[in-house]
Amino acid sequence: MDSIRNPFVPGAGSPPVELAGRDALLEDMHVALQRARIGRHAKSAMLVGLRGVGKTVLLDRIRTKAEAAGIHTIRIEAPEGRSLPAILAPQLRQALLRLSNISAAKEFAIRGLRALAGFAGKMKIKYQDLEVGLDYEAEPGLADNGDLEHDLQALFEQVGQAAKAAGTAEAIFIDELQYVAEDQLAVLITAMHRIEQQQLPVVLVGAGLPQLRGRMGNAKSYAERLFNFPEIGPLPRPAAEQAIRVPLQKEGVDIDEAALNQLVEVTQGYAYFLQQWGFHTWEQAARSPIGIDAVQRASGSAVAALDESFFRVRFDRLTPKEKRYLRAMAELGPGPHRSGDIATCYPAKVTSLAPTRSSLIAKGMIWSPNHGDTAYTVPMFDAFMKRIMPGDDWRHV
């Protein structure tokens, strides 16, 4: 098979040839954004799911469709250790500058830029990672109290007023939202609550790991009424088959049913794994139709590629204690697992492992589906841990 024509794209956030199984969510978000644009009630949304289910791809597809429909958007990724003001301010500046080019919204947008100047001037004192260009002098008393909750509301209101005057909506897309500190997450929720009360056309579309729902609920009890939380999981079998078959058909290639079934089984329907196995299966296939032998040969190189990148990049961020904890989980299987059962694998006391568990949650490696339960945020990570830490030596380090 021609490697140049390989239709599968196993990259981080890379859009696939066929985005299968997500049509209903895309339509729901289209409706919500268009409702916001005309001043109707529209819930913001948080896409939650494990690594590798395609949240980033979905976020970007929603944004692309929104822009095509005349919605203004900004796109942010929330890295670990950055403050909310630092990641928001530069993008809000870009949004307001864009709105200022629309004559009906110019005055509102300029006032928004003045609000941003006041906001940045006060927030820089507390959040020293905040860097943003300023285009206008601050307006005294506008978003400059030095209180993040109050000032972010005021700033969002100005963005909403400008978007309303322009006859559009402003959609704020934030990926990896679970990394935002909980007190700052509370401020963001409060700001969106105020926007909803004023019926201003600002919509927040976030994406994060499964713990995001709980963190937002802890931050503000009304978060689950303010946002929709669509769960992005592995693709059901028909959609997983479509994700493989359609890209092949576009290249004039067929695949045997047995080979297709094997691909769906080995990937468990996870979007990223479908792309990875599909890519390596294409490379192993000699001709069309692709047979099960090509899938079997591809598994070794697909697993090796995942180990070198998708899994290893997360493993290398861990401390020795954290690696042992995840290896103990792997001994029990995919999970979720009770904390006591994990401790028994060492053996160790549950209380002594609590700090390690907390740090792994903070790093986005594990989460708690239910009280006392622990699960990986990365599918198939248990098998990787057994490959990279084989035997029993890890118990005695």
Residue 341 neighbours by CB under 8 Å, 6+ apart: 332
Helix (H) or strand (E) holding 72: strand 72-77
Q: Give the CA dihedral 179, 184, 190, 196, nearest 10 degrees.
A: -40
**pTM for the model:** 0.93
> Which percentage of the chain shows pLDDT scores above 90?
91
Q: Which residues are 373's β-sheet partners?
A: 338
Measured distance CA(351)–CA(42) in Å, rounded: 44
Residue 78, SS3?
coil
| Token pair for 143 | 């978003």
Q: Which residues of the chain fall below pLDDT 50? A: none
Q: Do residues 27 and 188 touch, judged by C-beta distance below 8 A?
A: no
Q: Which CATH class is domain 23-228?
A: alpha beta
Residue 167, SS3?
coil
Q: Which residue from 254, 207, 236 is spatially nearest to 54, judged by alpha carbons?
A: 207
CATH number at 319-396: 1.10.10.10
Q: Which residues are 46's β-sheet partners?
A: 206
DSSP assignment of 202-261: EEEEEEE-THHHHHHHHH-TTHHHHEE--B--PPPHHHHHHHHHHHHHHTT--B-HHHHH
Q: Pairing relation of β-strands 170-175 and 202-208? A: parallel
Q: What is the pLDDT of residue 349?
A: 86
Q: What is the pLDDT of residue 7?
A: 96
Q: Which residue from 36, 32, 15 is spatially nearest to 160, judged by alpha carbons?
A: 36
Boundaries of CATH 3.40.50.300 in the chain?
23-228
Q: Which amino acid is at 20?
A: A
Residue 77, SS3?
strand
Q: What is the pLDDT of residue 130?
A: 95
What per-residue string of b and e applies to 224-257 under the rule 16 or more CB within 10 Å gives b?
Answer: eebbbbbebbbbeeebbbbbbbebbeeeebebbe
Q: What is the pLDDT of residue 106?
A: 97
Please state which architecture CATH assigns to domain 3-13+235-314. Answer: Orthogonal Bundle (1.10)
